[in-house]
Chain A
């Protein structure tokens, strides 16, 4: 097709051409995007969720952004491919010497800004469900999702202190019991965690229970989760912390409240027993060493 015989379609203004492509793609992709948001895609095209409502809210926000991003991508890539095919060099075809179009350029700058304003607004409307802990039936102290968050409704929660160190997580329970590697929590209870580090930077992340939060020496970080059904959730340290970073696994086991109460009491008792045994052994060792020292000179 030469410039002289080009059909009216070839003379379409760039703006209306772009608009048509964008509309067609929006329809196709909104449908495809919604289909893609099906739960089966968790961990493939959407983040893990299903353990705690904050993880669900993050996944919900992500899906909306994913759909918008997919539409934008297909519009850009589709237009690119269309232009590459439509305007490939052919005999007799002369490139039109267009240098720009101020109105169009202002329009797409405004459109890009508008999309981002919408995304920011969406984020702020959904922030509450992500950072503010849900209410629970348990009783505990004030709770925070990030350093300056307001307390949870009712102020009831189980407070856990999580401490990262090379290469293990330690969990301290309110009654003085503690455990390593595996955190036991009751179901239907908001669990509020304070995150500490003893040595280098670590990052607490159990994907199904919400986002990750860094453990940084000298600072305290906070997050929360609430598990509704018994289950086991795994995660691992998400900040390079040394040679065995890959082995710094964390497991959260959710069990019914009564079972948890007896577990945590038993755990405290076991620790006390172990400590007592250790004390005895130490005392014995000290006396032996002391005797040896007395004899040696």
Chain B
């Protein structure tokens, strides 16, 4: 509809301000896009560090009775790797993408609270710095879920455990503040016409994730505070010798810990829901079902925590309840997967790197979901719990799930953030290395778990027969790491030498592509009125219509107002030709 592009009086400029530049402009920025980039860069640094920790562990396990890394350092690596990947990579990397993309996707000029936004980022950095400072003294070694009594003052007397507690506090605070910011932004700053039924599915994912963070973060905050007072101020929440309960820690931790799993994956679901329709050139199949299942997953996710505790002394009827609730969460998840596959049906599929990662996600996440259903059946869990089968399961969900979605998002939005395309050939090569490397590394770990190898052991005897599988897994890990490095190389190369992207290289559906690449500080000159779930498709249709009209009325010299003309030109279909 041409009315949405109607001219409106605009003040061009009051005074000319120089673009801020230099490192101080990054440290003091409150621009959501710059904060988003800060988040992403910091997270990828932590991702690399966590990856190196993983490779060290895999090298130690490659052969039986290896002496590369001793027991003490191995347990520290286990703890650092898990904590880093969860609290310093997957959760904040979504904060990074959400920061950059949500205001653009909903047609806003910034987040609702730009200064709080900067505070979130710096709290997260502080958490990471405090935690990693422990490597110079005594890193924590009680595992990323720090079960008491192992994590209490008697069995983990060093300050490493305290840095873990402060990490949870600082990154938790960062996430909670960021989540409030996201909820307020999405609730109040959507473009005119963007009702809840037209909110992009990535924003649905991020919004639901933010609400889950607000629910779950206070619980873990309280739990780690209790652990801190147990360790230093003689309280007795978790110590059975004075009336406390180690099981209380497990309940509190997993009441946070399971919603946490969905906190890590829901924005990824959102990315897949954005990427598939764009590259299949058709609308998402069942927008409402996908949005509703996101909310359904969030609701059910707070009712499933005790499936992490099936082997603890808990009455059978409770185990049965948590089995059924855990199975129930597979229904909305399954609905999503089928809807995603159906989105490709009768499409016209363009094979670009974001789609590769999205399809890799679909295959591997389905495998992870199915092994999750197996683990939800508590008698089966009695065999598989705490074994390499579980290690395989959650890496299928978190690496093949969340990290594939991160990769897909990176390849999809990099042109928007930098104005340059990532190399397609390097991207596809990176995908195949990651896909094959991932399958080799973690596929074989199911077998290790089934044959009795518990997780978190720093070595194993040769007569267990686990040597071959472990060697295969280690080789896979290096293939996977090569794939990740190829993407890093791709990013570094494309920053300078990538093909210029133009505003809308994918001919995508959502409003971030209405702006230039990268967008100006104020995001949009004009915020268009939204009339459907695919506003860019409508805008392209309007422009096509207008150019036909222009052709017909050329003699009348009808011209669009200057302020709109820039946007009109930037959204012409020709913008995507160099894909």
Q: Which of A45, A123, A237, A242 contacts B379 (CB 8 A)?
A: A123
Binds A, one of B100-108, B219-227, B361-369, B563-571: B361-369
The minimal Cβ–Cβ distance linking B380 to chain A, given in whole angstroms, is 5
- Is the Cβ of A47 less than 8 Å from the Cβ of B285? no
- Is the Cβ of A100 less than 8 Å from the Cβ of B285? yes
Q: Which of A46, A87, A203, A220 contacts B345 (CB 8 A)?
A: A87
Contact A203 B386, CB 8 Å, known A65-B377, A214-B312: yes
Q: Which of B141, B323, B450 contacts A46 (CB 8 A)?
A: B450
Give complex CA distance A89, B579 in Å.
14
Q: Which of B315, B363, B383 contacts A148 (CB 8 A)?
A: B315
- Is the Cβ of B313 less than 8 Å from the Cβ of A219? yes
Binds A, one of B87-95, B335-343, B399-407, B418-426: B335-343
Does B71 have its Cβ within 8 Å of any Cβ on chain A?
yes
Interface of chain B, main secondary structure:
helix
Does B159 have its Cβ within 8 Å of any Cβ on chain A?
no
Q: Which residue of B lies closest to A43 (CB)?
A: B451
- Is the Cβ of B324 less than 8 Å from the Cβ of A120? yes
- Is the Cβ of A216 less than 8 Å from the Cβ of B346? no
The minimal Cβ–Cβ distance linking A24 to chain B, given in whole angstroms, is 16
Which B residues from 353 to 367 make CB contacts under 8 A with A? 359, 362-363, 366-367
Q: Which residues of B contact A241 (CB under 8 A)?
A: 150
Give complex CA distance A93, B386 in Å.
50
The 8 A CB mask of B432-456 against A (1 = contact, 0 = none) is 0000000000000011001110111
Binds A, one of B6-14, B43-51, B240-248: B240-248
- Is the Cβ of A238 less than 8 Å from the Cβ of B386? yes
Does B387 have its Cβ within 8 Å of any Cβ on chain A?
yes
Q: Which residues of A contact B411 (CB under 8 A)?
A: none
Does B299 have its Cβ within 8 Å of any Cβ on chain A?
no
- Is the Cβ of B383 less than 8 Å from the Cβ of A55? yes
The minimal Cβ–Cβ distance linking A68 to chain B, given in whole angstroms, is 9
- Is the Cβ of B379 less than 8 Å from the Cβ of A207? no
Contact A44 B451, CB 8 Å, known A66-B374, A246-B457: yes
Q: Which of A65, A126, A238 contacts B373 (CB 8 A)?
A: A65
Does B75 have its Cβ within 8 Å of any Cβ on chain A?
yes
> Total A-B pairs in contact (CB under 8 Å)?
273
Give complex CA distance A176, B327 in Å.
45
- Is the Cβ of B280 less than 8 Å from the Cβ of A95? yes
Contact A98 B283, CB 8 Å, known A45-B450, A76-B341, A147-B315: yes
Does B410 have its Cβ within 8 Å of any Cβ on chain A?
no
Contact A79 B380, CB 8 Å, known A69-B373, A214-B312, A216-B246: no
Q: Which residues of B contact A8 (CB under 8 A)?
A: none
- Is the Cβ of B347 less than 8 Å from the Cβ of A146? no
Contact A95 B282, CB 8 Å, known A43-B452, A217-B149, A243-B71: yes
Contact A84 B359, CB 8 Å, known A45-B450, A216-B312: yes
Q: Which residues of A contact B446 (CB under 8 A)?
A: 45
Which A residues from 181 to 208 make CB contacts under 8 A with B? 199-201, 203, 205, 207
Which A residues from 214 to 272 make CB contacts under 8 A with B? 214, 216-222, 235-246
Q: Which residues of B contact A220 (CB under 8 A)?
A: 313
Contact A246 B341, CB 8 Å, known A46-B450, A87-B280, A87-B349: no
Does B281 have its Cβ within 8 Å of any Cβ on chain A?
yes
Give complex CA distance A252, B446 in Å.
25
Determine which residue in B337, B382, B384, B451 has the highest number of CB atoms from chain A within 10 A of its CB, and name it.
Answer: B382
Does B72 have its Cβ within 8 Å of any Cβ on chain A?
yes
Q: Which of B247, B380, B455 contacts A219 (CB 8 A)?
A: B247
Does B344 have its Cβ within 8 Å of any Cβ on chain A?
yes
The minimal Cβ–Cβ distance linking B489 to chain A, given in whole angstroms, is 27
Binds A, one of B125-133, B260-268, B286-294: B286-294
Contact A93 B366, CB 8 Å, known A80-B359, A83-B341, A201-B150: no
Give complex CA distance A59, B289 in Å.
36
Does A9 have its Cβ within 8 Å of any Cβ on chain B?
no
Q: Which residues of A contact B349 (CB under 8 A)?
A: 83-84, 87-89
Q: Which residues of B contact A83 (CB under 8 A)?
A: 341, 344-345, 347, 349
Contact residues of B with A, CB < 8 Å?
71-72, 75, 78, 141-143, 147, 149-150, 155, 240-241, 244-247, 280-289, 311-317, 319-320, 323-324, 327-328, 330-331, 334-335, 337-339, 341-342, 344-351, 359, 362-363, 366-367, 370-371, 373-374, 377-387, 446-447, 450-452, 454-460
Can you list 22 A-B pairs with a CB-CB distance of less than 8 A? Answer: A45-B450, A61-B380, A62-B374, A62-B380, A65-B374, A72-B366, A76-B338, A80-B341, A83-B341, A84-B349, A113-B331, A119-B327, A130-B379, A131-B379, A147-B313, A201-B147, A213-B311, A216-B246, A218-B240, A239-B147, A245-B456, A245-B458
- Known contacts A99-B285, A146-B314, A200-B149; 7 additional CB pairs below 8 A are A48-B451, A84-B359, A97-B283, A100-B285, A119-B377, A213-B311, A222-B313
